[in-house]
Amino acid sequence: VGGAMEPIQAIRESRALIILRGDFGDRLKDITQILVEEGFLAIEVAMNFPHALEQIAQITQALKGRATIGAGTVLSIEEARRALEAGACFIGSPHTDESLLAFCREGGIPAIPGAFTPSEIWRAWQGGAAMVKIFPAMPGGPEYLRNLRGPFPDIPFLPTGGVTVENAAAFLSAGAVAVGVGSALVGSYVMAPEGLSQLREACRRLYRSLRAL
Domain-embedded: residue 48: yes
Where are the alpha helices (H) located in 87-191, listed in sequence order? 98-107, 118-126, 141-149, 168-173
Cβ proximity of 74 and 94 under 8 Å:
no
pLDDT tens for residues 90-149?
999 999 999 999 999 999 999 999 999 999 999 999 999 999 999 999 999 999 999 999
Domain-embedded: residue 200: yes
Domain-embedded: residue 89: yes
Cβ proximity of 144 and 162 under 8 Å:
no
pLDDT tens for residues 167-201?
999 999 999 999 999 999 999 999 999 999 999 99
CB-count exposure of residue 77 (10 Å: 0-12, 13-18, 19+): middle
Answer yes or no: pTM beyond 0.85. Answer: yes
Domain span at 83: 7-211
Q: What CATH number is associated with residue 187?
A: 3.20.20.70
Question: What is the residue-wise DSSP string for 184-201?
Answer: TTS-GGGGSTTHHHHHHH
Domain-embedded: residue 73: yes
How many domains, the chain?
Answer: 1
Domain-embedded: residue 2: no
Catalytic residues: 44, 133
**Percentage of residues in the chain having pLDDT higher than 70:** 98
At residue 155 the predicted structure's pLDDT band, cuts being 50, 70 and 90, is very high
